[in-house]
Structure 1
């Protein structure tokens, strides 16, 4: 089977490549990127990973037609505008005293206004060049992009590593095998809650919530604390820290600057030897993982990431599980971004949510879930409407829809400020010139 990775020069591509090498499902991986220099660097890193491992044909492309031809799966990891645009996504709201995280609040809206048009262009190419392929979306904001794609492509699914990482850490805190538990997770991308963890048919999450010492042993437990978690009766996704502790979290506008500098240095100075390139990539990845979420951790009193948090097996593991389930009809239960399909009464059927699904050789099937908890209904409903206005703006060019999205986002506190944010974004991001 052939997998095409769009954004094949991206920094995290070697994580996917390593997962493919450890499995035998994919026999051809095609790396496509518009940036030939970045692609060449990642080719050196993946060449070192492949040394002495199983045969896996690896090709690199700057022509999308060559890369997508005959693909069985297409993995989308676009970053329209690159890390330079991410810096702007975060700096603009931070300059107005607002949270500037790249997928939360105004930053996420600006990111989506670039990601959605680029992703729809990709979907049209896939429909023409590889109509049989499944499109696995990891392009952020994953929920919004997947919802836009779902309207035009019959075989699309969105993935995120946050829910699986949360369930894995909760299982470890309970001292149980991370593979066995069944996670009851619901929400939107970067806005969800783990509200149950079944081990041999028994929900063990209440045991964890009632144990302050166990909560203090992993990242989300320390971020939110036993009181908030106890009041909710659930474990929030790490990104909800921006909502529940917006005063303490600050603007969070520096992560893009850090990654832009780090990645520029890595791609510019990466050694020509494949082995040395792999070592340089591993060192940069370790620093990237160690500093991930630093602003939130500092707001929660300051703590270092646990070694378990640095282990790979996140989104690359979810992507591989989807491909195995579909390609070999090996049924799997995964937390994915798919249309609501009547599962949550508050949302339209075509609104994409993040919740458990079953996957097999026939495709992806949303599974029944319990109703939203009372504490989630208002926030999920509001943010989903913001997402739908953002999608409208990205697909029709409506500046009015973009303003409505910014105006109603819970992390933007003024209609006049929403207008200034859009003005600033349009001045700084040429990609938004289509808004009228």
Structure 2
């Protein structure tokens, strides 16, 4: 089976390859094609993968190419993990937003809209190429903003594109761990959009254990989201939010923390990863060792500003190992081998949430088999969550419309309607700021 990874020079690709190395079942991936626009980054990542596979005669074969059509032809699965504009673009997204006093995070608020506006046209082009060159392939989308990009691609690929994120998996794992349950034996009632969802129940042997967690302040304060949001707020909600909702519930504190930070997250990763890729230019560099060292630092500093604003302390060791690659492998195995499983995924709504139309991409538990991912029927969201989901989905739709039409006016509307952008004048200033620094937004007129 052939897997193509778009954004194959990206820093997290070795996580995916490491998961593939552990798969020995029949029908596993035997060939990996890495595609990237940057040949130097491709070479660096290929060196890491070669060291990962050292001594393993059955390791999947790795090839690299900068030709997108060549990468797609013959693919059974396509992992899309592109970053349009690179980490320099992410740093600019943060900088422009913070200059206007609003959040610049890459998937939430102004930064997420800017990232989406320059990513959607590229993702749509990829979707059209997949439909033409590899019509039987399944696309697994990692590219952020994951829900928005998945919805853009689904307009050309239908249900053959599925978005994934490790945030709900990590949240469910942490809750199960605190409650003394095995994550693999727990049903996680999780509903929302990507980076905008809530765990409303965690059932073990048919019993919902979440009320026990919410009733115990000590248990609530013993894991990351409990420290991040505070036990009192979680009890008020009657649910445990995805960590990204901290940007909404504690927006002022988070923006201040970002403004005080020596570097934004994007600027930190830009400089950190530049150091890694520069080190890989040395023929004698130990590629896997350098990658492991850089990855550990990356994971330890994840959402550091939010934890600082909340006084939540350092991340726990169990949360430093990533997880999205495990979701991707489980999804691919379920489809390729009909190994039926349940995963929290980004898929078309199909009536699952009655407040959204059928084509809206949402993030919910899905039953996965050889025919793809099928969203599970869920109870309606409470009013406060419904309002937020509908507002953000409306913004996503304006982003898609602006990307399709090239309308600057529609882009301004997308910014202005977002709950974390508090002024139409600020929305105009954001569009001016982003079009000035991003050549990829020159299509907005």
Give the TM-score normalised by structure 2: 0.96
The 5 A counterparts of 1:40-59 are 40-53=43-56, 54-59=58-63
> For 1:151 and 1:128, how far apart are their aligned partners in 2?
14
Residue 89 of structure 1 contacts residue 100 of structure 1 at CA under 8 Å; is this kept in 2? Answer: yes
> For 2:126 and 2:416, how far apart are their aligned partners in 1?
30
> For 1:360 and 1:302, how far apart are their aligned partners in 2?
39
2:81 is matched with which residue?
Answer: 77
1:366 is matched with which residue?
Answer: 375
2:302 is the counterpart of 1:292: yes
> For 1:273 and 1:331, how far apart are their aligned partners in 2?
44
Task: Describe the SS at the equivalent of 1:51.
Answer: coil
Q: CA offset at residue 375 of structure 1?
A: 2.1
Residue 7 of structure 2 contacts residue 34 of structure 2 at CA under 8 Å; is this kept in 1? Answer: yes
Task: Describe the SS at the equivalent of 2:89.
Answer: helix
| Count of aligned pairs | 435
The 5 A counterparts of 1:178-217 are 178-217=183-222
Residue 271 of structure 1 contacts residue 277 of structure 1 at CA under 8 Å; is this kept in 2? Answer: no
1:379 is matched with which residue?
Answer: 388
CA deviation digits over 1:274-311, x for unaligned, max 9?
88110000000000000001000000114011001112
2:35 is the counterpart of 1:35: no
CA deviation digits over 1:86-108, x for unaligned, max 9?
01111111011111111110000
2:255 is the counterpart of 1:250: yes
Change (3 A) 1:139 1:274: farther
> For 2:69 and 2:151, how far apart are their aligned partners in 1?
25
- Determine which of 266, 276, 286 is the counterpart of 1:266: 276
Residue 279 of structure 2 contacts residue 285 of structure 2 at CA under 8 Å; is this kept in 1? Answer: no
Q: Any unmatched runs of 5+ in structure 1?
A: none
For the aligned residue pairs, the C-alpha RMSD in angstroms reads 1.2
1:114 is matched with which residue?
Answer: 118
> For 1:211 and 1:47, how far apart are their aligned partners in 2?
48
1:17 is matched with which residue?
Answer: 17
Task: Describe the SS at the equivalent of 2:393.
Answer: helix
> For 1:391 and 1:328, how far apart are their aligned partners in 2?
34
2:97 is the counterpart of 1:93: yes
Task: Describe the SS at the equivalent of 1:250.
Answer: helix
> For 2:372 and 2:176, how far apart are their aligned partners in 1?
28
Residue 228 of structure 2 contacts residue 312 of structure 2 at CA under 8 Å; is this kept in 1? Answer: no
CA deviation digits over 1:242-286, x for unaligned, max 9?
100012112536101100100111101126468811000000000
> For 1:106 and 1:279, how far apart are their aligned partners in 2?
36
Q: CA offset at residue 145 of structure 1?
A: 0.5
Q: Could you list the runs of 4 or more consecutive aligned residues of structure 1 that deviate by over 3 angstroms after TM superposition?
A: 271-275
Q: CA offset at residue 218 of structure 1?
A: 1.3
Q: CA offset at residue 10 of structure 1?
A: 0.1
Residue 44 of structure 1 contacts residue 272 of structure 1 at CA under 8 Å; is this kept in 2? Answer: no
> For 1:268 and 1:161, how far apart are their aligned partners in 2?
29
Residue 3 of structure 1 contacts residue 73 of structure 1 at CA under 8 Å; is this kept in 2? Answer: yes
Residue 138 of structure 2 contacts residue 161 of structure 2 at CA under 8 Å; is this kept in 1? Answer: yes
1:311 is matched with which residue?
Answer: 321
Q: CA offset at residue 65 of structure 1?
A: 2.3
1:282 is matched with which residue?
Answer: 292
Task: Describe the SS at the equivalent of 2:362.
Answer: strand
> For 1:259 and 1:215, how far apart are their aligned partners in 2?
31
2:152 is the counterpart of 1:148: yes
